Structure 1
Amino acid sequence: MEKFIQRVNQQLEQWDEWLSAQTILLAVSGGVDSSVLLDVIVRINTQLDEPKRLIVGHFDHNLRQTSQADATFVQQLAQRYDLIYYTHRWSNPASKNVEANARDARYAFFAEIIEREAVDVLMTGHHLNDLAETVMMRMIRGTSLRGVRGIEPNYRRLLMTDEQRAVHVQMMRPFLKVSKETIQSYAQERGLQFVEDETNLEDKFLRNRVRQRLLPIFMEENPNFLENMLALQEQLQASYRVHYASYLQEEPMLLMYSQQYKWVLYVPAFSELGMDKRRVYLTLFFEERLVEDIPTYTREAIDRIDQLIVNDRLPNSTFQLSEGWVARREYDFIYIHPQETRDMEQPDLNIHINQLNHWHKLSEDELIGLFDERYFSTAELLEMPYMIRLYLQPHQLRGFYLRHRNEGDRLELNDGNGNLFHKKVSRFMIDQKIPMSEREQLWLLCDKNHEVISVIGHIASRHYRNRHPHAQSYVFLYRKLED
């Protein structure tokens, strides 16, 4: 028993979020897992130099006749430990998709407590058997890179209250490396009281069928099955983190987000990726970005996006991505947007220069960037094919972006005698005899006030060209990659 306490305490001490937390909300159903969690955390807390504030939260799902008795039991349990407690009864239980709806309602209740009590950590009694059951259920139903990772022991989570107010909390599951058998043994040795949920024996829930039928078969074949599942889950989580970190480094070159037109994928950048890497990145895009708009997707959806990328014979095509959403390729871009906007004109794409002294990829063979002039030697600057020197004050460094031309764009120029005048970008292109096919592809550098600073590769306006006592010299550079 003491060994179990020590093991859980060692796990908690590895988490900085636990060490810094002041208020802990314990999700207590009254079952053996959460009752043991409550007892263990209370015992660990009493040994701390600065004990944390513990709160008990119980959600009555109102799905069985004995649920109100469970709520009373948890209330008495919290009082026995002299803890603050909250209980809530689900007034209108769902009749369909019960598990998912119950989970959403439960976490909305927890979100209310978190907001009211300034909770730092929400702790649950999920254990190693739960992990194995969850992974097996997801594999049966169909899952993804993210889903097959199972349950994470410690992570930041966003919850929504019933009034749709967002709250952040640290989720902790300190029993995730502990088997159900170990938890039951602790409860028996401590003489802990708990309630039994009779619905855990019913066959109508997939989790119960996995727990009662499938998991025992695997355990019989290999008694170390749970430990093997944990090792696999930890490897998958580490692998996912590595893939995701790699993806984040390249994401600015792969896609853009428009408030009006949603997601825009840059085909040339995706095409440069190898097949396996491209498909992994597409999956991460669906899992980490598109999930807010399209919560569920199919493997076919990724296949079809991949085909839009690699099939240059169909540079303009559209398909239904999911209910209410379409994917549309137009030459070098794939637009993913609500179906009702499919007939709107192609959006104006902005590429933001959000990092100083860093090359941004404009296209597959073009780089742009804003640099402190001292970042390069004079010889290096002379070799740059296109350079603009800008005198900028600190508050002027942010907000530069590139886009294609719009109707009415103008440049502020100097006539050579010190006189300033404005010229339409369209007239400049005509005067320079720039072919019509190239005009729509040219990039314009603009500032946060949407003033045109330069037609890249051709001409620069007079903005930011005069010295100022509080300004520093920066250079905007453009170059093409060598073949």
Structure 2
Amino acid sequence: MNERHRLVESLLCLVREYSMTAPGETVLVAVSGGPDSVALVHALWSVREELGITLYVAHLNHSFRGEESDNDARFVWSLASSLSIPCVIEKVDVPRMRQMLRLSAESAARLVRYEFLENTAEKIGAARIALGHTADDQVETVLMNIIRGSGTDGLAGMPPVRGKIIRPLLGVRRTDVASYLQEQGLSARIDETNLLPHFTRNRIRLRLLPMLREYNPGIDTVILQLAELARADSAYMNAEASKVFKRLTIACDTGAVTLDRGELLGLDLAIRRRVVREAVKSVRSDISDLGFRHVEDLLGLLATGGDFRYELPAGVFVECERGSIVFRSERQRDVPIIYKYEIAVPGETPIGEAGVLIKAEVIESHLEPVRSPDDTEVILDLDKVKGTLVARNWQPGDRIQPLGMKGSKKLQDVFTDRKIPRRVRHRIPVIQDGERILWVVGVIISDVAKVTDSTQRCLRLRAVPVSPCSYDRKVV
């Protein structure tokens, strides 16, 4: 049995280490026709049965190089045919799109390429999209991120796995690619634009790296080790920030999220910065243009203690009011939300506008506390409830007799005292019978239907979060 080339061994090692594929999955391989992608698709083809995967090839003709671009497409089609791999080819006028979107050639090409790959993967049912980035690409990416300005996430470079994207050659050097192609008798297309110093990545490869190697011949290895360390640190910090972000979330809607201002200010600075980025990401997935200065300016305003409005890149607006800070995808006037639902007793009543499910049950005793610490559960005297029980939105002029008090109080004043933002007040369920407000979910309980020693039957009401967000939110 012939010994496998080190490129194949490295590929298999990375695939298994990061669980890049699973038996029975279809993998879409992005093939430009260059050496790296040719080596990738051939190596995956050679171990397809061992991995139990099915391959597809995808090629995007960017139309940058005229006839040469068309020849690239024909080459990829021929290569895929020789390996009996189905092939999808699409042609897009990226130069024209670049002008329309006012993007650099690199940015426009990347945008169109990833959209093409994601759409193709969805059409053919591919679980993974394999890209041919190598260790040399990783070195260039880290340097490029440093030059542009980057935090720890940028120092980590490209992840081996990100969603559907996998990079099986990330542990392979370009010298290994050249050796593999020679051993297998494979040819590849050469994009001469990669030799021109017009693009940042090319200048790093052709000018900066050779200069750095004069200071340290092993600089490539040093940078790769730095990326590995940064990736582990970033993964841990991001996971912790995600947990904190969920804990600080007061409310979330489509295109908006509200955090507790005081708790955010009390965080360690490293986590605080990441929570802000997590909040922006929750309302706008692409945060590539959110820079260090934006986050620092926002945190500086937050620390002043006053209310403010602040605009971040790409139409993300931040509003700080009393005890909360709201991130939203666009500036818009708050439109009052109006709803009214009859509560099933016993039963469950979903309040979609508030993101909660009201569970009602009749119980015979009240040995348990009549309220929860966060006012998301209450036990009432059922015989004191008059008429039909309903859940509705707050309305100006609403009053409640707070538990333990003889007089009534405006709900608006209660909200102000509890530092509840104006924009979420209309979502909070107000529970009332035919005559009076009995409970404002998560905020306050009324005295009028309280349980006493003479109570015969009890009604337990619970508000259970059911949110459209990808995480549970607190009842507001």
| Rounded Cα–Cα distance in structure 2 between residues aligned with 1:92 and 1:209 | 22
TM-score (norm 1): 0.72
Does 2:399 correspond to 1:426? yes
- Residue 108 (structure 1) aligns with: 115
- Residue 319 (structure 2) aligns with: 328
- Residue 454 (structure 1) aligns with: 439
- Residue 79 (structure 1) aligns with: 81
Q: How does 1:218-297 map to 2 (within 5 A)?
A: 218-259=212-253, 262-286=256-280, 288-292=281-285, 296-297=289-290
Q: 1:16 aligns to what SS in structure 2?
A: coil
Which residue type is aligned with residue 10 of structure 1?
C
Contact 2:57 2:80 survives alignment (8 Å): yes
| Rounded Cα–Cα distance in structure 1 between residues aligned with 2:12 and 2:262 | 51
Q: What stretches of structure 2 of length at least 5 have no aligned partner?
A: 339-357, 360-365, 391-396, 433-437, 465-476
- Residue 185 (structure 1) aligns with: 179
| Alignment RMSD (CA, Å) | 4.2
Change (3 A) 1:176 1:92: closer
| Rounded Cα–Cα distance in structure 1 between residues aligned with 2:286 and 2:161 | 26
Change (3 A) 1:339 1:6: closer
Contact 1:177 1:230 survives alignment (8 Å): no
Q: 1:82 aligns to what SS in structure 2?
A: coil
Report the alpha carbon displacement of residue 122 of structure 1 after superposing the two structures with TM: 0.9
Q: What stretches of structure 1 of length at least 5 have no aligned partner?
A: 157-169, 349-369, 372-377, 392-411, 478-483
| Rounded Cα–Cα distance in structure 1 between residues aligned with 2:130 and 2:297 | 41
Change (3 A) 1:381 1:225: farther
| Rounded Cα–Cα distance in structure 2 between residues aligned with 1:284 and 1:449 | 28
How many pairs does the alignment contain? 408
Does 2:45 correspond to 1:42? yes
Q: 1:18 aligns to what SS in structure 2?
A: coil
Q: How does 1:353-392 map to 2 (within 5 A)?
A: none
Q: 2:93 aligns to what SS in structure 1?
A: coil
Q: From 306, 313, 325, give the equivalent of 2:299.
A: 306
Which residue type is aligned with residue 26 of structure 1?
V
Q: From 133, 139, 142, give the equivalent of 1:126.
A: 133
Change (3 A) 1:22 1:179: same
Report the alpha carbon displacement of residue 182 of structure 1 after superposing the two structures with TM: 1.5
Question: More deviation in 130-139 or 430-439?
Answer: 430-439
- Residue 404 (structure 1) aligns with: none
Q: 2:203 aligns to what SS in structure 1?
A: helix
Contact 1:28 1:58 survives alignment (8 Å): yes
TM-score (norm 2): 0.73
Change (3 A) 1:299 1:58: same
Q: 1:296 aligns to what SS in structure 2?
A: coil
Q: 1:292 aligns to what SS in structure 2?
A: coil
Does 2:316 correspond to 1:318? no
Q: 1:9 aligns to what SS in structure 2?
A: helix
Q: 1:112 aligns to what SS in structure 2?
A: helix
| Rounded Cα–Cα distance in structure 2 between residues aligned with 1:474 and 1:422 | 11
Contact 1:131 1:150 survives alignment (8 Å): yes
- Residue 471 (structure 2) aligns with: none
Change (3 A) 1:384 1:328: closer
1:84-119 deviations in Å (ceiling 9; x for gaps): 111112235334411111122222222332122111
Question: More deviation in 147-156 or 318-327?
Answer: 318-327
Contact 2:28 2:121 survives alignment (8 Å): yes
Report the alpha carbon displacement of residue 25 of structure 1 after superposing the two structures with TM: 1.2
| Rounded Cα–Cα distance in structure 2 between residues aligned with 1:85 and 1:271 | 53
| Rounded Cα–Cα distance in structure 2 between residues aligned with 1:133 and 1:190 | 27
Change (3 A) 1:207 1:330: same
4+ long deviations beyond 4 Å: 343-348, 378-391, 412-416, 418-425, 433-439, 442-450, 455-458, 460-468, 473-477
- Residue 53 (structure 1) aligns with: 54
Q: From 211, 215, 221, give the equivalent of 2:209.
A: 215
Q: From 146, 152, 172, give the equivalent of 2:153.
A: 146
Report the alpha carbon displacement of residue 445 of structure 1 after superposing the two structures with TM: 12
Report the alpha carbon displacement of residue 63 of structure 1 after superposing the two structures with TM: 0.6
| Rounded Cα–Cα distance in structure 2 between residues aligned with 1:422 and 1:44 | 65
Change (3 A) 1:338 1:119: closer
Report the alpha carbon displacement of residue 223 of structure 1 after superposing the two structures with TM: 3.2
1:397-444 deviations in Å (ceiling 9; x for gaps): xxxxxxxxxxxxxxx97675x755889950535952559854633589
Change (3 A) 1:460 1:85: farther
Which residue type is aligned with residue 63 of structure 1?
F
Identity of aligned residues (%): 23
Q: 2:150 aligns to what SS in structure 1?
A: coil
Question: More deviation in 456-465 or 5-14?
Answer: 456-465
Contact 1:8 1:175 survives alignment (8 Å): yes
Contact 1:389 1:475 survives alignment (8 Å): yes
1:344-373 deviations in Å (ceiling 9; x for gaps): 58999xxxxxxxxxxxxxxxxxxxxx99xx
| Rounded Cα–Cα distance in structure 2 between residues aligned with 1:388 and 1:318 | 31
| Rounded Cα–Cα distance in structure 1 between residues aligned with 2:264 and 2:176 | 49
